[in-house]
Chains A and B, each alone.
Chain A
Amino acid sequence: MGSPAPINDPTMPAPVLGPGQTYTTVTQKLSAIITSRTPLGWIAAMLIAGGILQLLMLSATWLLIKGTGIWGLNIPVGWGWAIINFVWWIGIGHAGTLISAILLLMRQQWRNSINRFAEAMTIFAVMCAGMFPLLHTGRPWVAAYWLLPYPNTMSVWPQFRSPLIWDVFAVGTYFTVSLIFWYLGLIPDFATLRDKAKHKISQIIYGVLSMGWRGSAKHWFNYEMASLLLAGVSTPLVLSVHSIVSLDFSVGLIPGWHATIFPPYFVAGAVYAGFAMVLTLGLPIRYFYGLHDYITDRHLNNMGKVMLATGLIVAYGYAMEQFFAWYSASPYEGYMMQNRTFGPYSGTYWSLILCNVAIPQLLWIKKVRLSPLWLFIISMFINVGMWLERFIIVVTSLHRDFMPSSWDMYHSTPWDWGLYAGTIGFFLFMMILFIRVMPVINIFEIRQLVANKSHGEHAETASADD
């Protein structure tokens, strides 16, 4: 890209910001979501999400009272929905980090309007994910700290060869860094809200949260530096977390788990799932709060393309699993794949292919990428498909492994559903709460976009877009 091009040049990407935006309109519009009167729709949504959240309380309580036997687990299927949900939620979290860290480093400015809620989504998704590994253990009350390497008089340490320990570190680090990164990005906006807030209590809360931000050049310099550093720290996490999660499986010797392709395939799947979730949440928010000027067609188009690309990597993963099963010439691998494809869970497998491979091919069509409705539908398919993918990996591999005498079927119970739905309730509850109390779109970064725009589109043309 050499010389600056006109903004409506069809060969150039659509703008990341709608026309006519100024500092004032941006600030007004985005802070009004928080400072305005509570909309009835928000209360209704909160009630619904809060209601579903109660399922989490109920399911978790009953689980702690009775034990994991309330789920459909058995021998040989020792892992079920809990692990599926864990991987699913962790995957969903990935888009946030990708958007805030990698795209920041790559100076993709279109990320600015979606990174905030994508990051929030990450935080809440990781919270949801984090519940499962603990709740799925037989004795959560000791698992809660025995998996941590704390000094103790017994000199007993975790077993560092176990991928589950790697998980603890990977997910722990991920959550911590994501939280700090998110909070750091919120500081200038908290300051804006502090200034905008009319109520004394709000002023105090936002005042405290903004940590004395005054917007001085020094502040901005420190902010930019910290932001870059954190982005640098986060970037490897995007790749490492899901790679390590995938090692839970590929370190195992179970056919269907024991595959070297898992780390890249899981990372791609995570980004895929994450972007689908960003759309699933972003499109309704955009619609209800009229944020079309901030989440523009350009964003939709780009996210569609990211999904298409990662979806193709995932599809390649599926193809490679089939190929390995054949090429390994291992009867166990061969049987596993045959069973996966044509066995009792073949319906699930083919649904997965439909959701994750077939339907997303529509994203090749630009019209689909620009249509919020289409994108929403496709993103829902991907959300489901990614869950099914984890189901296939966890359950079909375990239920028929090496000893045919031990083969058995896995059937979920209402408690499996309850806990899963409960975490969705928790996630929605937190998201809805977040929309109301924190700026869902990064105010100062949008203002920066306005600034960039008024300064001759430098940033726009300086970086190669998607």
Chain B
Amino acid sequence: MSSMTRTAHKNGLDLSEIRERLSTREGQDYWRSLNELADTEEFRDYLHREFPEGASEWNDKVGRRKFLQVMGASLAFAGLTSCTRQPPEKIVPYIRAPEQIVPGKPLFFASALSQGGFARGVLVESHAGRPTKIEGNPAHPATPRPGNATFGPTDAITQAQILDLYDPDRTQVPVGNGRASTWTRFSATLATEVAKLDLDQGQGLRLLTETVTSPVLVSQIRALLEKYPNARWHQFEPGTRDNAREGARMAFGEVVETQYHFEKAKRILSLDADFMESGAASVRHARHVALGRKVIDGQKADMNRLYVVESSPSNTGSFADHRLPLKASQVEGFARAVAAALGINAMGGNNVGHDTWLNALVKDLAAHRGTSLVIAGDHQPPAVHALAHAINNALGNVGSTVTYTDPVEAEPTNQHASLKDLTVDMSEGSVSLLVVLGGNPVYNAPADLNFAAAYQEVTTRIHLGQSQNETARLSHWHLPEAHALEAWGDTRAFDGTVSIVQPLIEPLYGGKSAAALVAMMMGDGRTDYDRVKEYWGEQYKESDFETAWQTYLHDGLVPNTALPERSVSTTENYGTPSQASEGFEVNFRLDPTIGDGRYANNGWLQELPKPHTRLTWDNAALIAPATAEEMGLQNGDVVALSANNRSVEAPVWIAPGHPANAVTVHLGFGRTAAGRVGNGVGFNAYELQTSDSPWTASDASMTKTGQTYPLACTQDHHSMEGRALVRSGTVDEYEKHPHFVHEMGHDPGPDANFFDGIHDNDGIAWGMAIDLNSCNGCNACTVACQSENNIPVVGKDEVLNGREMHWIRIDRYYKGDLDNPELYNQPVPCMQCENAPCELVCPVGATVHSAEGLNDMAYNRCVGTRYCSNNCPYKVRRFNFLHYADEETQSFKLQRNPNVTVRGRGVMEKCTYCVQRISAARIEAKVEDRELKDGDITTACQGACPADAIVFGDIKDPNSRVAKLKAQQRNYGILTELNTKPRTTYLARLTNPNPEISQHG
């Protein structure tokens, strides 16, 4: 918050006037932001005027220092690199070529990447030995795409982990007492420490890990604990699902894992669960909910219906048919009321109103016994989880849409309690050796634990981590941890399915895995590979393990390791009803892009516009319009948030749909030792968090400080101005009148061409269809595109200047009520117009039409007049105003896709429909002497999309998926009245509202 500037606002946001204006609007009225609704010019311009770019450019800390930080282009770093031993380079041809390596042809390896301890199956693209791109493994349950799909869906964070691998700020050598050291020296220290442990059976030894599902690591830790029975193992990470565990314990007397089967659900109720965006199975869930809403002309629409009760606007909420914003503490009362209405003796109950909504919901759920599904959010207290279990039971969903298994975690732990125990032990001085295997508790432990102080009471502190983070800096030894793409290991998915983690590259900086470090403590000299293979060899009961092992590696999972369904016995305990707080509440949430802060140094994720707010490079205190109105707050005004006798300063952002009298803050920001990208970005919300109530702080207060802070938002610009960009209707409207979409806009038709069929040919015509009925705005496409196409990061200043580079962006529009609007997401890549306005105006012919209908960019030819961008009605073109591509940082060079040009300064760029993939597939087809067939080419965005919202292919092939989608009645192009003939078209969104909830709300 150091760079806050004092600015006076000319004109306030008159929210009461906005309400009035909204109430007089009729029909399909979209609005984009409060600014538009306010309709005051001062306000339209507000975001930018308060922080004039001119000034920022002039005051630029010599040569866009921040920008350089972001891209990490530092010669100093190059010097550092040279301190480590580089593998010898030999420029000789292979005498005996390595198996399978064909120069220029990538290989894909199946592996798994964990988030919060749980696996997402991935296929990693490797070019000449360097991993460049992460795709989903379609066979993996967390990233499923059945059929013969090449890639499975993923999420934004998984996509971005390739950048973490090459992060130049990763630790490169072991650090002992703040000085560069070696593994050999560390081994010596460790030997001394271990010798001490042997004396008292590990009395003073503590292990602190994050959530662990890896069977190999667990077996090692167990062996360690067996050897040192007095030692203890603690687990902690901020995104811990303590509430779900405790909820299960409350409902069933034991911790079980709940498995949700959204593919079978027709009616879904989310009790403050953002299940499509967060959690171990979010990709799968998002996919199944979206697939349950696919509508095809001529078939009876059988859409599921999604009800979302939520305390903070989420992607899941934006996807809902009915969304009810409630304060976090009110959700329990609502859940009790639902339970009570279904005949559960839940006590307490609805003290939040919304009876019509609730009754209609209950009726709808009850009418769908066995095909409904209720899910409670990880932020909600255990009682809500217990109630959700009871409701599912009462609705007969258990065994159909909801099943139970044993926990996937080897040691399900209440992690906040576990960390608290550890802190007590540490401050009492009873910990002599603490080994932190990953994680960053000094930064991310709730503030009330005073972890940092207690940590320093430990005699010897050893930290294993990928970067020298806050915890590393307070440790005696900080050891470089191998990235998941660098070391052998294993991990489990949400349902228990085991994947072998395969390294794609030698550790760049000699890092070791957590398992390797535990092995060192145990004197286990095996390699990671041997350890993992031997472990799974022991588990394998049949003959020929070698073949099985190869299959594990090839498929990316160990077959039949999903946990079997089990029965549970209910306790009928739903906790003591707690009263919804009357006061001001603070919601703590993991950040949708940088998680708990571990991805803070990842430029792709920092610059990824967050769902709903479209903010980049900062977190903000999200407040309801009503709260803003009450307190006279504008976007960017800095407030002091106080709770539990602690206070932080944060800029506010008005989030339509946020419940009033509450604020949402995202964790993971305000880091001091994240690295060049993540340091000092945003404010640290952990400073307000307590271990007793980590997700909500009640009785908080918010006061205006009078300062303002610039927030870099990519899209808080104005309304849709009545333009038919996003088109939507209810499923009833669609069934009665399937043509409704086309009446919303003007399409000049196929004959409106001055010149006949200039781009007509007999060959292929590439096109794309984007189903808005499936998109929830998860951003996976944006990061996938960034990764595939070597798209640079520009930094906060440049985003403020309006120069972000994403080739596919997600436009967001609001519709309806200010306090609870509907939200529409619209991914916008290049439209590849048949009559492309950009091509006509380029003076050097740098953007030209291909025979297959692509609007190609010849970067080498581009002189950068920017005329094409001016003339692009969709504004999908991106310009390298400065030298954005980082050509200095050695490690980033390894990440780049060798098939895509790295664009220099002064060159225009844009979406190409992944032309490099098209070419690769064409070459392959030619080599195999066959025609290209539908599905041969998957664009990066399409491959990443959990919901199959994006479909690409040959629109001239009537049997291609894209042609079939484009034949749908819901298919429309945007701005077709300009006769651009876009090849990218959209399918209108449909909602499936409950007729009994007459008014949306």
Q: Which residues of A contact B (CB under 8 A)?
A: 66-70, 72-79, 136-140, 142-143, 146-147, 156-159, 161-165, 168, 248, 251-254, 331-332, 335, 342-344, 346, 398, 400-409, 411-415
Contacts and interface: CB of A to CB of B under 8 A. Distances in A.
Interface string B833-863: 0000100111111000000000000000111
A280 B844 CA distance: 38
Given A78-B866, A138-B906, A403 B842 contact: no
B803 A75 contact: yes
B804 to A, nearest CB: 8
B871 A252 contact: yes
A253 B837 contact: yes
B877 A75 contact: yes
A368 B45 CA distance: 41
A159 B864 contact: no
A162 B868 CA distance: 10
Interface stretch (B556-564, B720-728, B735-743, B935-943): B720-728
B723 A343 contact: no
B844 to A, nearest CB: 5
B881 A72 contact: no
A403 B45 contact: no
Contacts of A251: 840-841
A334 B36 CA distance: 17
B961 interface: no
A159 B867 CA distance: 13
B47 to A, nearest CB: 8
Interface stretch (B48-56, B167-175, B488-496, B894-902): B48-56
Contacts of B906: 67-68, 137-139
B831 to A, nearest CB: 11
A395 B721 CA distance: 19
Contacts of A156: 845, 861
User: Which of B44, B870, B873 has the most chain A CB atoms inside 10 A of its CB?
Assistant: B870
A400 B863 contact: no
A36 B98 CA distance: 86
A156 B848 CA distance: 13
Contact of B843 (A69, A165, A403, A407): A165
Interface string B711-723: 0000101111111
A157 to B, nearest CB: 7
B823 to A, nearest CB: 13
Contacts, number: 199
Contacts of A70: 57, 882
B801 interface: yes
A68 B864 contact: yes
Given A162-B867, A398-B870, A67 B881 contact: yes
B195 interface: no
A70 B54 CA distance: 9
Contact of A414 (B57, B721, B725): B57
B179 interface: no
Contacts of B715: 405
Contact of B881 (A73, A161, A400): A73
Given A75-B877, A78-B869, A158 B863 contact: no
Contacts of A164: 841, 843, 865, 867
A405 B870 contact: no
A134 to B, nearest CB: 10
A164 B865 CA distance: 9
A117 B907 CA distance: 40
B863 A139 contact: yes
Interface of B: 32, 36, 41, 44-45, 48-49, 52-54, 57-58, 63-64, 715, 717-723, 725, 798, 801-803, 809, 811-813, 826, 828, 837, 840-845, 861-867, 869-871, 873-875, 877-883, 904-908, 975, 978
A138 B840 contact: no
B364 to A, nearest CB: 34
Contacts of A407: 717-718
A309 B702 CA distance: 63
A74 B864 contact: no
A408 B717 contact: yes
Contact of A406 (B862, B867, B875): B875
A163 B53 CA distance: 31
A247 to B, nearest CB: 10
7 contacts: A69-B64, A69-B801, A75-B802, A75-B875, A138-B865, A331-B722, A403-B725
B867 A404 contact: no
A332 B801 CA distance: 24
Contacts of A140: 863
Contacts of A400: 718
Given A67-B881, A253-B871, A414-B54, A143 B864 contact: yes
**Which of A66, A78, A147, A254 lies at the interface centre, i.e. has the most chain B CB atoms within 10 A of its CB?**
A78
A168 B64 CA distance: 34
Contact of A343 (B41, B881, B883): B41
Given A138-B863, A138-B906, 8 more contacts: A68-B881, A68-B906, A69-B798, A69-B803, A138-B881, A251-B841, A254-B873, A405-B826
A210 to B, nearest CB: 40
Contact of A78 (B861, B862, B870): B870
Nearest to B812: A405
Given A138-B906, A404-B32, A405-B715, A162 B863 contact: no
Nearest to A147: B843
A147 B908 CA distance: 16
Contacts of A331: 721-723
Contacts of B36: 404
Nearest to A145: B863
A253 B978 contact: yes
Contacts of A412: 54
B295 to A, nearest CB: 25
A407 B813 CA distance: 13
Contacts of B873: 253-254, 401-403
A407 B721 CA distance: 12
A73 B36 CA distance: 23
A109 B867 CA distance: 43
Contacts of B869: 75-76, 78
Contacts of B725: 403-405
A339 to B, nearest CB: 9
A461 B852 CA distance: 69
Contact of B878 (A75, A161, A252, A413): A75
Nearest to A400: B718
Contacts of A405: 32, 715, 717, 725, 809, 811-813, 826, 828, 875
Given A72-B57, A401-B873, A252 B837 contact: yes
A75 B717 CA distance: 13
A129 to B, nearest CB: 16
Nearest to B810: A405
Nearest to B717: A407
A36 to B, nearest CB: 44
Contacts of A73: 866, 879, 881
A411 B879 contact: no
B6 to A, nearest CB: 19
B57 A138 contact: no
Nearest to A415: B57
Contact of A67 (B841, B877, B882): B882
Nearest to B719: A404
The 3 closest A-B pairs by CB, nearest first: A138-B864, A138-B906, A74-B802
Contact of A402 (B845, B862, B874): B874
A35 B906 CA distance: 49
Nearest to B979: A253
A235 B418 CA distance: 89
Contact of B865 (A66, A137, A254): A137
Contacts of A75: 802-803, 869, 875, 877-879
A163 B867 CA distance: 10
A414 B44 CA distance: 24
Contacts of A346: 41
Kindly name the residue among A79, A138, A409 whose own CB sees the greatest number of chain B CB atoms within 10 A.
Answer: A138
A342 B41 contact: yes
